[in-house]
Chain A
């Protein structure tokens, strides 16, 4: 990889090369991606459907794909990361994706001020952890949250020993691995399954990736606050009468600095010019024939100072091109609009002025300048980019009062639910839907109120964030399997109002007794002592493994015998996507249980071979 053009430094970063940071993030993403299958394998049930790694990878992938493509070559790191965090949240999948996104969001809220000092990174980690913790319902020990908290604690412990935040993170990783290995002691389901927490493992892998990717830049940079102080000092020196400057110890120190360590070319040039000016002063007041405007250097350094803006006070990055004969120069235009915000840059060519300004009142700026000429081009970017799609153009265009929105993996279940009256189905197949996909699904309904339910509890967090971002009032039914969705659709009526619909759905989630049949991907000992060997078929009933057998048909017979009650006369098999050659199964079961009716439908689920309901 070519050395990125970064002014990435030990403690802080300033405006940097967008392509370079994209490459860094891409490399971190690839590192995580390489460990995807390992993370997927850390699954509580021995069903080969673990997708923690996949969800984390897809969350990052979505953010990379959707991050605002800036037209600028350089961008403030804090702003970039905040935008990236927002995109992660919007594209997050599964609990692991959402929790990781929440951590990133909390982290980048703190680093939005572009302060990457070790103290601020600590605050960022702390806020990231708190944000993830607060955003998680029923936060538990032994999960990714534990690892986040462990990072916060270890970082605090190591802070007095190291100055570089990356070094502190690097030094924390062995401890985090120890904590990860303790997660089975914290969560019984992990212990039973003989695995560490997959989300926690993903978090550690990600930190390793960050460390691996960034550590190569650690030693070469100059801290931003040093650069800023230096810029101030140089400005002062250049503003002084030059003949006295050679007595200044600061000037001598500056001359000894290795400015080649500044990786950002724009900054490097400004400092290099300043250094030349100072050097020339010592050697020759007239500058060795090389013309470097002192004012230009001071101006460049001032711009660096200005560009480091820890708080974005003015929200909209506003640009326009004004064609006017009434304004004679840049200063006149500056007088008219300068008070609307900051970071004002005006470029003048004949009677055209290209203007850049950060302001909270872009429309007022446009109105003001329109009095003097014609606006040829305007562009407004919400710099904070928070919910930008929802704050602007938020035209309420409801087509119905309420809708039912179901999110399912299996195509067969999608068809069944549609026929049962669901207004729309998001059939996500193998990859859990991102927040963004869910928002789109919810908004597409054009309903004032939406009842939303999914077939997997791992989608719940993403769904909740999607609900907070969409226009409708979303009532989330906390379902975790497709049978519950059928039960919901069976219990509600189109004639109900939204509240009755929601309450009825919640009250009828567990109306239908069912179990899931799957094939084990590894040896496991169930809670009740049931031994499941790799390749065996096993039955999960009320979230526990209750039976296993090397023969699928024998297991089905056993499970029906075990679960069916006197009140049941209908047994329904919902077949998964991977079922083959079971044409004789229903006949076999009918022969075995003549008093029961059997029906079979295609569910299309990927995790269980069958869902079996007892009614």
Chain B
């Protein structure tokens, strides 16, 4: 008999609930603070709402970590019906606190229900790509032992790579996701920095992947780096690509050109991700990017 598995993931996964075809899954909403006020993703408080505030009110937004009790409550509520929980967590290199919360919940349910915490080494659509990869795994290999499943999840992590183009690194810096030095990369010559989260890197932190002065250059750079990564991993077809886009009208032409370019890649499935409120905290207006699972 197949194991019944419940997946927990934060809402910084670059996908909407409708884009995930798996019932036993709950998306936990990250608290987002604009000034002193806390917001959670909703129809009213969406990514476009925050981008609009960024553009019009110059506000500073930050996200907080997931709350222990909220995760524990989900486990408690569902543990009677499931054999295993998989909590897909954003990179511990970006938020050590989030992973610690996940580990504490796991400890709380030790000897009650098994929980696999997956440190994705990713954020935004990278997390989404790993969630979908794990769902594929559960569906295609339902009889894996917990140890085997844990190992297979790790392989998915190591085969997931994301590239991000941010018009302004100030949002990442203010949110504590990059250092001051990195945030200044784009402050001279109107340089567009290319950032990435590489699954085969140990730290799971945002790394500079290149710099360019035109979007055309940066788009080519991403495509070339994807091809190089495929070659390095001896992969001929990308299993899944999830794009990141739509944070306001900024860079529309560049994004459109990028979306055309990724169509040239050998890819089994391209999903145009729908990022939520918390994703927009760090992206800022005009951000775009792609995550691939090899």
Contacts and interface: CB of A to CB of B under 8 A. Distances in A.
Interface of A: 415-416, 419-421, 486, 490-491, 493-495, 567, 569-570, 572, 597, 599, 601, 615
B213 A419 contact: no
B208 A490 contact: no
B27 interface: no
Contact of B208 (A416, A493, A572): A493
Given A421-B181, A490-B212, A597-B214, 20 more contacts: A415-B188, A416-B188, A420-B189, A420-B211, A421-B185, A486-B189, A490-B191, A490-B210, A491-B210, A491-B211, A493-B209, A493-B210, A567-B216, A569-B216, A570-B213, A570-B214, A572-B189, A572-B213, A599-B189, A615-B212
A486 B189 CA distance: 10
Interface in B210-255: 210-214, 216-217
B184 A419 contact: yes
A458 to B, nearest CB: 26
Contact of B207 (A421, A491, A495): A495
Interface residues of B, number: 18
Given A420-B191, A486-B189, A615 B209 contact: no
Contacts of A569: 214, 216
Given A567-B216, A570-B214, A419 B187 contact: yes
Chain B interface, >50% SS class = mixed
Contact of B188 (A420, A495, A570, A597): A420
Given A570-B214, A615-B217, A416 B189 contact: yes
Contacts of B188: 415-416, 419-420
Contacts of B208: 493-495
A495 B210 CA distance: 11
Contacts of A490: 191, 210-213
Interface string B155-190: 000000000000000000000000001001101111
- Which one of A494, A570, A572, A599 has the highest number of Cβ atoms from chain B below 10 Å of its Cβ? A570
B173 to A, nearest CB: 16
Contacts of B190: 599
A469 B208 CA distance: 33
A30 B139 CA distance: 87
Given A419-B187, A419-B188, A420-B191, A615 B207 contact: no
List of 4 A-B pairs having minimum Cβ-Cβ separation, nearest first: A419-B188, A490-B211, A493-B208, A570-B214
21 contacts: A419-B184, A419-B189, A420-B188, A420-B189, A421-B185, A486-B189, A490-B210, A490-B211, A491-B210, A491-B211, A493-B207, A494-B181, A495-B208, A567-B216, A569-B214, A569-B216, A570-B213, A572-B189, A572-B213, A597-B214, A601-B189
A187 to B, nearest CB: 37
A570 B214 CA distance: 7
Contacts of B189: 416, 419-420, 486, 572, 599, 601
- Which one of B189, B208, B216 has the highest number of Cβ atoms from chain A below 10 Å of its Cβ? B189
Contacts of B212: 490, 615
Interface string B186-198: 0111110000000
A486 B185 CA distance: 13
- Which one of A490, A491, A599 has the highest number of Cβ atoms from chain B below 10 Å of its Cβ? A490
Contacts of A615: 212-214, 217
B193 to A, nearest CB: 10
A416 B207 CA distance: 22
Nearest to A491: B210
A80 B20 CA distance: 83
Nearest to A574: B189
A572 B217 CA distance: 15
A494 B181 CA distance: 10
A420 B188 CA distance: 7
Nearest to B185: A421
A486 B181 CA distance: 18
A597 B215 CA distance: 12
Nearest to B208: A493
A569 B214 CA distance: 8
Nearest to B214: A570
A495 B209 CA distance: 9
Nearest to A599: B190
A572 B188 CA distance: 13
Contacts of A420: 188-189, 191, 211
A601 to B, nearest CB: 7
Nearest to B211: A490
Contacts of B216: 567, 569
A493 to B, nearest CB: 5
B144 to A, nearest CB: 35
Contacts of B217: 615
A214 B143 CA distance: 97
A421 B184 CA distance: 9
Contacts of A570: 213-214
Nearest to A489: B211
Nearest to B201: A495
Contacts of B210: 490-491, 493
Contacts of B209: 493
Nearest to A597: B214
A262 to B, nearest CB: 67
Nearest to A494: B208
A491 B185 CA distance: 12
